[in-house]
């Protein structure tokens, strides 16, 4: 009588099924791979036509250049990460503080004032500063006379032209003056409060979240109060 053996059960015979080994394919060649290839090339070269010294030196130089370039790229990557971390640490210390940024929009907080600068590119006369609410209505204005080129500080106490305190919210600063005989709108900067800090902007930079004004790049800050 013949005993059948299950074709899939080889353990009783002391045999194990063979599992196909998976091999990881390297996508990049390192220094060890290059040296292995170079050694193989030298071992199997034609004795009657050995590798020319100049060609051999050229291959070594090319590899050295590529290897050095890769090392440099890695080092720059590490430096970039270090700088970003350091920048983030500095930016985080700004939370709760005031910064001066270019622009005309400013946020008036409860019982506070709005500060800023007139950024004059040339000598300017008959300077006038207006504060407008979100509807575009002028709620306060003041004359600043004449000033030479440079930055001129200003502060609005949050009161309208009748001395009444205005509610918290978004306001805009508009400045005008005469430059060379013609009236021009002047560049301004405003003071804002930093609420929080974000990492990873559009280009991996640091973003500051300002009260009532949204986000700006850390690099846009002109002055820290």
User: Is residue 172 domain-shared with residue 70, that is, in the same domain?
Assistant: no
3-state secondary structure of 10: coil
d(CA 104, CA 187) in angstroms, rounded, equals: 8
Tokens 């019982």 belong to 111
Picking from 175, 173, 174, 118, the residue whose alpha carbon sits closest to that of residue 147 is: 118
d(CA 172, CA 114) in angstroms, rounded, equals: 10
User: Is residue 81 domain-shared with residue 145, that is, in the same domain?
Assistant: no
DSSP symbols for 71-131: HHHHHHHHHHHHHHHHHHHHHHTTTTSEEEEESSEEEEPTT--EEEEEEESS-EEEEEEEE
Residue 216 pLDDT exceeds 80: yes
User: What's residue 82's pLDDT?
Assistant: 60
Q: Please report whether residue 107 resides in a domain.
A: yes
> Residue 164 has what DSSP assignment?
P
User: Is residue 64 domain-shared with residue 125, that is, in the same domain?
Assistant: no
Q: Please report whether residue 11 resides in a domain.
A: no
d(CA 67, CA 10) in angstroms, rounded, equals: 51
Burial class (CB in 10 A: 0-12, 13-18, 19+), 56: middle
User: What's residue 15's pLDDT?
Assistant: 40
d(CA 189, CA 151) in angstroms, rounded, equals: 9
Q: Please report whether residue 207 resides in a domain.
A: yes
User: What's residue 199's pLDDT?
Assistant: 72
Mean pLDDT (the chain, rounded): 78
The mean pLDDT value for 158-181 works out to 94
- Containing 151, the helix (H) or strand (E) segment is strand 150-156
Confidence of residue 1 (pLDDT cuts 50, 70, 90): very low
User: What's residue 181's pLDDT?
Assistant: 86
More confident residue, 5 or 154: 154
Q: Please report whether residue 47 resides in a domain.
A: no
Residue 213 pLDDT exceeds 50: yes
Residue 3 pLDDT exceeds 50: no
Burial class (CB in 10 A: 0-12, 13-18, 19+), 101: buried
What domain range is 66 assigned to?
56-92
The mean pLDDT value for 32-36 works out to 65
d(CA 44, CA 108) in angstroms, rounded, equals: 80
User: Is residue 85 domain-shared with residue 105, that is, in the same domain?
Assistant: no
User: Is residue 212 domain-shared with residue 149, that is, in the same domain?
Assistant: yes
């Amino acid at each position: 009588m013949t005993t059948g053996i299950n074709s899939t059960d080889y353990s009783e015979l002391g045999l194990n099924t063979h599992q196909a080994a998976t091999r990881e394919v390297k996508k990049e060649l390192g220094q060890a791979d290059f040296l292995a290839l170079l050694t193989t090339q030298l071992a199997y070269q034609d004795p009657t036509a050995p590798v020319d010294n100049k060609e051999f030196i050229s291959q070594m130089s090319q590899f050295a250049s590529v290897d050095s370039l890769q090392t440099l790229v890695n080092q720059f990557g590490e430096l970039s990460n270090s700088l970003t971390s350091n920048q983030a640490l500095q930016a985080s210390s700004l939370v709760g503080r005031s910064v001066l940024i270019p622009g005309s929009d400013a946020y008036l907080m409860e019982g506070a004032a709005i500060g800023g600068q007139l950024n004059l590119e040339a000598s300017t006369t008959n300077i006038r500063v207006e504060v407008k609410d979100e509807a575009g209505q002028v709620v306060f204005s003041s004359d600043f006379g004449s000033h030479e080129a440079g930055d001129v500080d200003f502060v609005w106490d949050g009161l309208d032209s009748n001395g009444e305190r205005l509610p918290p919210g978004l306001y805009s600063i508009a400045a005008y003056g005469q430059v060379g005989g013609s009236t021009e709108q002047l560049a301004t900067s405003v003071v804002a409060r930093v609420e929080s800090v974000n990492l990873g902007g559009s280009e991996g930079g640091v973003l500051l979240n300002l009260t009532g004004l949204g986000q700006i790049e850390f690099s846009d800050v002109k002055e820290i109060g």
